Chain A
Amino acid sequence: MDLSYTETQDMLRDSLARFLADTYDFETRKKMLSRPEGRDPGIWKALSSELGLTCAPFAEEYGGMGGGHLENAIMMEELGKVIAIEPWLQTVVIGGGALTAVGGAVAAEVIPQIISGDATFAFAYAEPQGRYNLADIGTTAKADGAGFVLNGHKAAVYAAPWATHLLVTARTGGSRRERAGVELFLVDAKAAGITMREYAMVDGFRGAEVYFENVAIPGEALLPGGIDLIERVVDEATIAVCAEGTGIARKLLEGTVEYTKQRKQFGQPIGKFQALQHRMADMLVDVEQIASMGLMGTLKLGLPADQRKAAVSQVKAKVARSIKAVGQNAVQTHGGIGITMELAIGHYFKRSTMIENQFGGADWHLERYEALTLPA
């Protein structure tokens, strides 16, 4: 057992942190969000082709640095610290994770495009009726000669407007909510028959409802592995947003502490009041637990499926609860200014609140944990 970061990992963290410090201050971020496409594509280009950070979590055979989940966690935490609107989760963690799991020709072809920044992904898995059940899938993939034809509607797909590739869950057989018959497909985002209703997400991201109407895709679009593969990819994504949450929670606490040192009421900085000090101490306890759980989840992603799922659910349930407490306490401590667009704190709160329920909230994950580890 060893819980220390390697020198390479420390350097990776430092170089991303330095780059983001130079390019992603709050005012610049605001300007990026107000652009028509909702971001500055130059940032992604810099992260990938210029700084080469996207190669960190990939195996050397694909042109990567030989890292993995821990490298993704480091990146997500740093991106969280600036509430970056960049598709690392969708592209590197989810797209890259699925391709790494599948391997073979498709991985050899597409992973280098992720590393170079030419491929960006969106994960079209949620459906309007499905809540967090990954097998509650109405989208169909009907066999048609050597290929498939996709029909269906995917809900609230993060980063879809920017994507060159879509990862789509669809049913080749079986009835709604049946685990068997659910498959993962890699689809060209520009394929005929795909339409998107694009919109902004509350946390600053861009997203879309994605509709598939008789979309013809080739046979090799199916990434073999079924629901087990999808669960693995979603577990990896879940831990990645927990790592992002670590970065966000740290900034929520830091911003709150700073604010209470400046803000005066009753003739003194409000940080002198014990009621607020204890609230911020509780925030620190939560922040440390978020960091600890993020690390535990990252290190347990390689366990056999049932153990992995149980661990991921413990992590996500705890992170969901703790980050809710940190976010709400940050806003409460700021007072009225905390619920305005004016300060960064509110924008961190918007994203942290979305993290609570992304890939399932505390109740959903506690229930999954119980089902896996306690008698019925």
Chain B
Amino acid sequence: MDLEFSAEEIAFRDEVRTFIAENYPAELRGKQDEGDELSKEDFLSWHKVLYKKGWVAPAWPVEYGGTGWSITQRYIFSEEIARADCIRLMPFGLTMVGPVIYTFGTPEQKAKFLPRILSGEDWWCQGYSEPGSGSDLASLRTKAERDGDHYIVNGQKTWTTMGQHADWGFFLVRTDPDAKQQEGISFLLIDMKTPGIEVRPIITLGGEHEVNEVFLDNVRVPVENRVFEENKGWTCAKFLLAHERVGIAGVASSKRAVERIRAIAGAEMEGEKPLLANPFFRRKVAELEMDLAALEFTELRTLSGMAAGHGPGPESSVLKIKGSEIQQRLTELTLEMAGHYGAPYFRSFGEGDNEHAVGPAWANKAAPVYYNTRKTTIYGGSNEIQRNIIAKMVLGL
């Protein structure tokens, strides 16, 4: 056991670093620096660069387009991505439905969908939550009734992140209204251009259009688009949630965020001294770094266990709980650093529409990001649900 990178691993790190420096889309970088809202094309521009290189889905099995990297290489890759402030790739295809399809899908489904997830040709969204089914996901009521070789889907989904751009969605629907809750659910892949689908925006506290409601009115879905057996969709749903939780910890990007806080608080003056010399503020930074180190090594232990053939099991709930709390604390500290300039609100409405903001650039979005980040302890199974999972699945209570 040791923490040192081998010569090959260092060479790999340098290769990744150079690749990012030479290939990260300049236009995207410019918009990020300006704090502009990113379009679908912006998100896809980086996705496509990684796809061409063959690096877009490191965690996938090699036979479906994965890289075959070791745990260490994947660790290095995510560190370098964060270090260079690259945007996060949309997870709905790559880390959510993709693994479900290659694990549970038919050969035809794999052949049809996996290549287009990798290439970015299909933008995916998630149809899980409903207005009446949040934490109690299995109570969902969107129903799918057989009509020959189609399902007719009726119902309403919500919190559909980036659904406004989606070509395809993966939906949990009720196919047996008489079965026990978890046993009557199926996992459907739905073309978002099918007649009867309406996507309506939900605007969140930072002013952003990130999530949507999706209404389904007599939407016809071919039976061949059901993944796994009818009424066994909950198996796929649980599998997806466990996979999602591992990546959700966000260790590398949180490390990068602490670096930014250190840099800003080291320069931001409070009287004669930098804010970072304030004993209360520096204690919060030290505590964050401490908790982040604990999270990082918990993730490394989990990944190392996965390499040895375990999980990702319910212990990924630990990563979700701590990772999400840390992401929130980072935004709290940034808002605190912003001081007076946490208050002014300048909403960018796309290129050319920006009002000229006041105060330091990093402070502009401090409050909107803080508001938005309250989501991390709510989504992916709220942190209370994660505790239920630990109690039941890990502790056997």
Q: Which residues of A contact B (CB under 8 A)?
A: 1-6, 9, 70, 253, 257, 260-261, 271-272, 274, 277-278, 280-282, 284-285, 288-289, 291-293, 295-296, 299-300, 311, 314-315, 317-318, 366, 369-370, 373-376
Q: Which residues of A lie under 8 Å from residue B386 when comparing CB positions?
A: 281
A277 to B384, CA, bound (A): 10
What are 12 A-B contacts with C-beta separation under 8 Å? A1-B5, A2-B1, A3-B300, A70-B1, A257-B395, A277-B391, A277-B397, A280-B397, A314-B290, A318-B293, A374-B262, A374-B276
Q: Does B11 contact A (CB under 8 A)?
A: no
Residue-wise, chain B 376-397 has the 8 Å CB interface mask toward A (1 for contact) of 0000000010111011001111
Are A2 and B72 within 8 A (Cβ)?
yes
Are A285 and B395 within 8 A (Cβ)?
no
Are A314 and B72 within 8 A (Cβ)?
no
Residue-wise, chain B 317-341 has the 8 Å CB interface mask toward A (1 for contact) of 1100110000000000000000000
Residue-wise, chain B 288-299 has the 8 Å CB interface mask toward A (1 for contact) of 011101111110
A311 to B396, CA, bound (A): 34
Q: Which of B304, B318, B391, B396 contacts A4 (CB 8 A)?
A: B304
Q: How many residues of B contact A (CB 8 A)?
A: 49
B34 to chain A, nearest CB (A): 30
Q: Which residues of B lie under 8 Å from residue A277 when comparing CB positions?
A: 387-388, 391, 395, 397
By beta carbon, the residue of chain B nearest A254 is B395
Q: When A70-B1, A375-B277 are in contact, do A1 and B397 touch as well, CB less than 8 Å? A: no
By beta carbon, the residue of chain A nearest B322 is A285
Are A318 and B291 within 8 A (Cβ)?
yes
Are B3 and A299 within 8 A (Cβ)?
yes
Q: Which residues of A lie under 8 Å from residue B285 when comparing CB positions?
A: 374
Q: Does B270 contact A (CB under 8 A)?
A: no
A366 to B293, CA, bound (A): 13
Q: A292-B298, A317-B286 are in contact. List 10 more A-B contacts (CB 8 A).
A: A1-B71, A3-B300, A4-B307, A9-B1, A278-B384, A278-B391, A284-B318, A285-B318, A288-B298, A318-B293
Are A375 and B2 within 8 A (Cβ)?
no
Q: Does B75 contact A (CB under 8 A)?
A: yes
A225 to B105, CA, bound (A): 64
Are B290 and A317 within 8 A (Cβ)?
yes
Q: Which residues of A lie under 8 Å from residue B315 when comparing CB positions?
A: 288
B301 to chain A, nearest CB (A): 6
Interface core residue of A281, A284, A288, A291 (most chain B CB under 10 Å): A281
Q: Which residues of B lie under 8 Å from residue A317 when comparing CB positions?
A: 286, 290
A149 to chain B, nearest CB (A): 42
By beta carbon, the residue of chain A nearest B301 is A292
Q: Which residues of B lie under 8 Å from residue A288 when comparing CB positions?
A: 298, 301, 315, 318
Q: Which residues of B lie under 8 Å from residue A296 when comparing CB positions?
A: 293-294, 296-297
- A-B pairs with the 4 shortest C-beta distances? A277-B391, A292-B297, A281-B387, A281-B390
Q: Which residues of A lie under 8 Å from residue B75 when comparing CB positions?
A: 1
A158 to chain B, nearest CB (A): 26
A271 to B397, CA, bound (A): 6
Are A281 and B395 within 8 A (Cβ)?
yes
Q: When A2-B1, A285-B322, A314-B290 are in contact, do A366 and B283 touch as well, CB less than 8 Å? A: yes
Q: Which residues of A lie under 8 Å from residue B296 when comparing CB positions?
A: 292, 296
Q: Which of A274, A284, A373 contacts B390 (CB 8 A)?
A: A284
Q: Which residues of A lie under 8 Å from residue B262 when comparing CB positions?
A: 374
Q: Which residues of B lie under 8 Å from residue A291 when comparing CB positions?
A: 301
Are A282 and B266 within 8 A (Cβ)?
no
Q: Which residues of B lie under 8 Å from residue A280 when comparing CB positions?
A: 390-391, 395, 397
Q: Does B287 contact A (CB under 8 A)?
A: yes
Residue-wise, chain B 58-76 has the 8 Å CB interface mask toward A (1 for contact) of 0000000000000110010
Q: Which residues of B lie under 8 Å from residue A6 when comparing CB positions?
A: 1
Are B3 and A1 within 8 A (Cβ)?
yes
Q: Which residues of B lie under 8 Å from residue A314 when comparing CB positions?
A: 289-290, 293
A277 to B317, CA, bound (A): 14
Q: Which residues of A lie under 8 Å from residue B308 when comparing CB positions?
A: 4
Q: Does B9 contact A (CB under 8 A)?
A: yes
Q: Which residues of A lie under 8 Å from residue B5 when comparing CB positions?
A: 1
Q: Which residues of A lie under 8 Å from residue B149 when comparing CB positions?
A: none
Are B3 and A284 within 8 A (Cβ)?
no
Are A376 and B277 within 8 A (Cβ)?
yes
Are B304 and A274 within 8 A (Cβ)?
no
Q: Which residues of A lie under 8 Å from residue B290 when comparing CB positions?
A: 314, 317-318, 366, 369
Q: Which of A257, A289, A300, A375 contacts B397 (CB 8 A)?
A: A257
Q: Which residues of A lie under 8 Å from residue B3 when comparing CB positions?
A: 1, 299-300
Q: Does B31 contact A (CB under 8 A)?
A: no
Interface core residue of B315, B388, B395 (most chain A CB under 10 Å): B395
Q: Does B4 contact A (CB under 8 A)?
A: yes
Residue-wise, chain B 158-182 has the 8 Å CB interface mask toward A (1 for contact) of 0000000000000000000000000
